[in-house]
Amino acid sequence: MLIRRPDDIPSSEITREADYWNRRKFMGAAGSLAVGAALGLTVPGRLLARAPAGRRPGQEDELTPLEDVITYNNFYEFGTGKDDPAEHAHLLRTRPWTLEVDGEVHAPQTFGIEDLWQRFPPEERVYRLRCVEAWSMVIPWLGFPLADLLDIVEPTSHARFVEFTTLLDPEQMPGQQRDILPWPYVEGLRLDEARHPLTILALGLYGKALPGQNGAPVRLVVPWKYGFKSGKSLVRIRVTRDQPRTTWNVVAPREYGFFANVNPEVDHPRWSQARERRIGELRRRPTLMFNGYADQVASLYAGMDLRRYY
């Protein structure tokens, strides 16, 4: 069992490729610990400390290693196992790719993926991602505010919601060959949520274009909501008058609300949302209201009963 020494990794840098492999040794140790713990053996406390994965200046959260970000995914279009997306995403063709933006707008437009990169030069945003399954990551996205794109298409006075549609193509997305969910995947936001400065369209992560399993070539990222709200591999953004019929809400309305704001006080009917396992850590940590973005977003929901509108 090899445990790397903490001082091997420069904590100020993005984790380099070699480091992803080194950390496997740590995870091996962690895995043995889990098995050992399951067998009732004593776990030396010091081994639970995780090798640092790097941190951005001014950020308190340690980045989740790239290897985990691109191998542990929920993207049912490529299969329901966590490792299925990484295995099958190579089938996805992201060039050419167009994103249609229409609906209640004065100037509907179709953007080629290159247009998006040119017209909206992406900036890095390090966000916490909290999955509804009670695990979380910290990901350095490359993206731009969705509001910038909405400004260009000019929503009409009737605009109240925004709908996001994922690609439908069972050949590129083999998971769509089974009726696990009603395809294509549709998500939605209220217009004010969509225009919030934290809401971005991501084109990349860790300084490069998005890998297929993370929603290439363009995806939504709404950091204060559970991960399923952030639609991947988007082909259409439609501004609407009525609340969009969003996929998980249609499938299991009692379990997945339209809002799906991260909220440690409102449990999923089948499991607790009070705590989460940060990927790379063994011990769970408390989940924060609005995933820690309450200062920025709580005002969007002033006066709303968050137990009712979960």
Of 4, 32, 109, 294, the residue at the interface with another protein (CB under 8 A) is 32
- Is 49 a residue that touches another protein (CB under 8 A)? no
β strands within the chain, DSSP E: 98-103, 109-112, 123-130, 135-145, 161-166, 186-190, 200-205, 208-209, 219-221, 234-240, 275-278, 285-286
- Is 288 a residue that touches another protein (CB under 8 A)? no
Q: Which stretch binds another protein (CB under 8 A): 9-17, 72-80, 214-222, 294-302?
A: 72-80
Of the chain, the end-to-end C-alpha distance in Å amounts to: 44
Minimum CB separation of residue 49 from another protein in Å reads 14
Of 8, 12, 35, 304, the residue at the interface with another protein (CB under 8 A) is 35
Q: Are 231 and 201 in contact (CB under 8 A)?
A: no
How far, in Å, CA of 158 to CA of 38, rounded?
57
Query: In the beta sheet, which residues pair with residue 265?
Result: none
Minimum CB separation of residue 170 from another protein in Å reads 16
Minimum CB separation of residue 30 from another protein in Å reads 5
Q: Which stretch binds another protein (CB under 8 A): 115-123, 214-222, 234-242, 269-277?
A: 269-277
Of 12, 43, 112, 208, the residue at the interface with another protein (CB under 8 A) is 43
Query: In the beta sheet, which residues pair with residue 143?
Result: 123, 202
Residue 176, class by beta-carbon neighbours within 10 Å (0-12 exposed, 13-18 middle, 19+ buried)? buried
Of 37, 49, 152, 250, the residue at the interface with another protein (CB under 8 A) is 37
| Interactions with another protein, residue window 89-148 (CB under 8 A) | 133, 135
How far, in Å, CA of 48 to CA of 31, rounded?
11
Angle at CA 268, nearest 5°, toward 257 and 283? 130
Contacts of 208 (CB under 8 A, 6+ apart): 142
Q: Which stretch binds another protein (CB under 8 A): 77-85, 93-101, 155-163, 205-213?
A: 77-85
Helices (H) and strands (E) in the chain, counts: 8, 12
Of 19, 54, 76, 229, the residue at the interface with another protein (CB under 8 A) is 76
DSSP string of 226-239, one letter each residue = -GGGS--SEEEEEE
Of 4, 55, 82, 190, the residue at the interface with another protein (CB under 8 A) is 82
Minimum CB separation of residue 29 from another protein in Å reads 8
* Total residues found in the chain within this entry: 310
Do the bridges between strand 285-286 and strand 275-278 make them parallel or antiparallel, or are there none, so unpaired? antiparallel
Minimum CB separation of residue 9 from another protein in Å reads 16
- Of 33 and 147, which has the nearer Cβ to another protein? 33
- Of 68 and 193, which has the nearer Cβ to another protein? 68
- Kindly state the number of chain residues that form the binding site for another protein, as judged by CB under 8 A: 45
| Interactions with another protein, residue window 51-70 (CB under 8 A) | 67-68
Minimum CB separation of residue 247 from another protein in Å reads 10
For tokens 């639609």, the residue is 231
Q: Which stretch binds another protein (CB under 8 A): 17-25, 88-96, 166-174, 290-298?
A: 17-25
Q: Are 116 and 201 in contact (CB under 8 A)?
A: yes
Binding site for another protein (CB under 8 A): 1, 23-32, 34-35, 37-40, 43, 67-68, 71-72, 76, 80, 82-83, 133, 135, 178, 180-181, 251-252, 270-272, 275, 277, 279-280, 282-286
